[in-house]
Structure 1
Amino acid sequence: MQNQSLILVTGANGFLASHIIKRLLTAGYAVRGTLRSLDKAAGVQQTLAGTPNLDQLSFVALDLTQEAGWNDAMQGVTTVMSVAAPVFVNQGQASAAVANAAKDGTLRIMKAATAAGVKRVVMTANLGAVGFSRLDHQRPVTEADWTKVDQAGLSLYEQSKLVAEQAGWDYQRQHPEGPEFTTVNAGAMLGPSLNGHVTGSYNLVNRLLTGQAMPNLVVNVVDVRDVADLEVRVMTAPEAANQRYLAVAPKPVSMAAIRTLIQQQRPQLAAKLTKHLVPDWLVHGLAPFNRQLREANLMMRLNHDVSIQKAEQLGWQPRTADTAVLAAVDTLVKNGLK
């Protein structure tokens, strides 16, 4: 069944974007995917081979760090799925300039969407923008929480996502004539990759699989398939206009639990796993002297009781953390990325 709506998805060859596009095409939507180079288009087509309505997928060459082309690309578009981040963020090569680049990219999308009369922009945001200043454990983290920009131990990546999201909300409030704005604030995204592309969150699993030193972090993970599901839900739900939604698995998981899970469910990998996790006291003691340990120290102090009640009201039912972790393990093994 052909849907009359045209959806623009940024970073069409990305880890999450490929899952979103697959869902949209299967549901009958026409999709216009942005790529930094059209040379990547054939690879996306190959990744999605066998997906229904693949003929409804088209591509446009655009760069989030450049003005050129965004207004033209928005023509006829009903909804924008803002999924991509500047490439140097995704590759973990963060610098102080990252936050400004992410902010500028968000504003570029919002301005072009306003000019084209787009109805709604759905932004892939980050749990790090929500609960990373919640060091008390008195109540669950909800969409009403905001991380402080100057939070000690906040990574440059999370800071960039926070600043970009704040820019989107500021724009939405200042431009009532513009599109509705909705964010899906995802935890550490795991699950299967359709094309070998993975996120920085995979490093949590990869370090364990390659025997590297790791603190016993507790993390709120989420399966990429569930993030794609929620983003498509909020795209059309009337009540999702100008709302945030938290996307995490029902329960957090520790590195010790992940190690045990891999030992039990993928025993052929057990011999290479990290043998001893870095003691908490050592992380706390060395945090003032090392950026990575400062970030780990913050993660260890956070409130990981995250409410997903708001998303569940849309009928969203996420997979368990174990399912997301094992799918990530299998992706790393399959693609030889360890």
Structure 2
Amino acid sequence: MGFTNENAGYIAAQTAKRFLDAGYSVRGTVRKLASARPLLEDGLKEYSQAGKFEVVEVPDITVDGAFDEAVKDVTAIAHMASPVSFFFKDPEPVLHAAINGTKTILNSALKAGPQLQTVVYTSSITAVKSAKEPHYVYDESDWNDYAEKEVERLGKDTPGPIIYSASKVAAEKAFWAFREEKKPSFTMTAINPVFVIGPPLIAPKTESAVGETIRLIWTVFSGAPFPLPVNGFNFTVDVRDVAALMLYIASSAAGGPQAIADILRKELPETRGRIAEGNPGKGYNKEYTVPDGEIDINSEKGKALLGGWIPYEKSVVDTAKSFVGLV
């Protein structure tokens, strides 16, 4: 199996482990081989030593033919290489990398050989979710019809989160356009996860290494003041579920800083002296469901496929445990 990821990152590492544990061989790609050293020498060491896990260098994912060698003889491709940040300043290079990185891997897939069975693209809920009225429930048929228009209107003044959203919309559209135009023999699937939490395969060694989507758990765990909840971004799914799923919308719970604090103070009593108490039980539903009347996300197809999601409490606690060496 082959997977692509430009920084040997959070979701890709857990995805590689998932497939390795299932008996597949995995070939990953990174821009610089040095970035994969922790995976080869620590996180997936037993597999790399056994010849089951290898990494090859692809310096520029947007160059046509960049993945031709990497995808030779693979039976499946999981494409995860796309810029990820909510602090982008210029939409042009971000959209270029997202769109053309998707096109190049698909063009290379056509040359991979008849053994290739499927290509899975990691999109995002931001390609689905837009500005709907309360009570609306999003599902796989929805598209974000807002972000790309805002980029056209605002240019370099576009806020970072909207640039990211536009890049995911444009890249996924390119993905499906390829299927319609080329009609490849392999199947094509997109996964649309919400905010991904859960433990990194390799625990961060420094605070700066903590990823953006799990930074909220780190902030609460470290004892810092609670940040204000971001409207519409309290939906979460465990990284291990995303790795197992690779299909449909992935969304399992709706929490927030107060829920995280309550869970950690209960499940990790040693943190009570550090984590702020806040207002226990306030600001979230007991079962971490979406409050009545608010916009929701339908992820029942993914839930049924996996037989259930990893519980929100477990995701929070397991993530926090990876930060123990940082406080």
TM-score class, shorter: 0.7 to 0.9
**Pairwise CA distance, 1:179:** 3.9
Q: TM-score, normalised by structure 2?
A: 0.78
Structure 1 residues 274, 147: closer, same or farther in 2, change over 3 A?
Answer: farther
CA positional deviation for 1:319: 0.8
Structure 1, unpaired ranges of 5+: 1-5, 235-244, 278-299
For 1:61, the equivalent position in structure 2 comes to 57
Q: Deviations over 1:196-217 (max 9, x none)?
A: 3653111222333452452234
Displacement of 1:273 in angstroms is 4.0
Report SS of the residue matched to 1:123: strand
Residue 188 of structure 1: how far off its partner (Å): 0.8
1:70·1:112 contact (CA, 8 Å) conserved in 2? yes
CA distance 1:274–1:166, change in 2 (3 Å)? farther
Q: Aligned letter for 2:141?
A: A
Q: Aligned-pair distance for 1:325?
A: 1.6
User: CA separation in 2, counterparts of 1:136 and 1:28?
Assistant: 45
User: How do 1:179-258 and structure 2 match up within 5 A?
Assistant: 179-196=186-203, 198-209=210-221, 210-212=223-225, 214-217=227-230, 219-231=234-246, 234=247, 245-249=248-252, 251-258=253-260
In 1, are the aligned partners of 2:2 and 2:70 still within 8 Å (CA)?
no
Aligned partner letter, 2:24: Y
Q: State whether structure 2 residue 185 is matched by structure 1 residue 173.
A: no
Deviation string, structure 1 residues 253-305 (Cα, Å, up to 9, x no partner): 1322222222322343344446769xxxxxxxxxxxxxxxxxxxxxx9x9552
Which of 296, 308, 316 is the aligned partner of 1:317? 308
Q: Residues 52, 42 of structure 1: CA spacing in aligned structure 2 closer, same or farther, 3 A cutoff?
A: closer
Q: Distance in 2 between matches of 1:262 and 1:322?
A: 8
Work out the CA distance in 1 between the residues paired with 2:87 and 2:123.
Answer: 16
Match of 2:285 in 1: none
Choose the corresponding residue for 2:14, options 9, 19, 44.
19
Residues 149, 162 of structure 1: 8 Å contact kept = no
Give the conservation status (yes or no) of the 8 Å contact 1:190–1:327.
no
Alignment of 1:285-300 (within 5 A): none
Cα distance in structure 2, aligned partners of 1:271 and 1:312: 37
Kindly indicate whether residue 322 of structure 2 is the aligned counterpart of residue 327 of structure 1.
Answer: no
Structure with the higher helix share, 1 or 2: 1
**Secondary structure in structure 1 of the residue aligned to 2:45:** coil
Over the matched positions of the two proteins, sequence identity in percent amounts to 26
- Over 3 Å counting, the alpha-carbon distance change for 1:133 and 1:21 in structure 2 is same
Taking a change above 3 Å as real, the CA distance of residues 145 and 185 of structure 1, as seen in their structure-2 partners, is: same
Q: Which residue of 1 aligns with 2:154?
A: none
Q: What's the CA shift for 1:38?
A: 2.3
Shift of the alpha carbon at 1:116?
2.5
Q: What is the Cα deviation at residue 27 of structure 1? A: 1.6
Return the offset for 1:128: 1.6
Partner of residue 162, structure 2:
155
Structure 1 residues 333 and 157, CA gap change in structure 2 (3 angstroms): farther
* Matched residue, 2:263: 261
1:96 and 2:91 are equivalent in the alignment: yes
Aligned to 1:119: 117
- In structure 2, stretches of 5+ residues that fail to align are 151-158, 205-209, 280-290
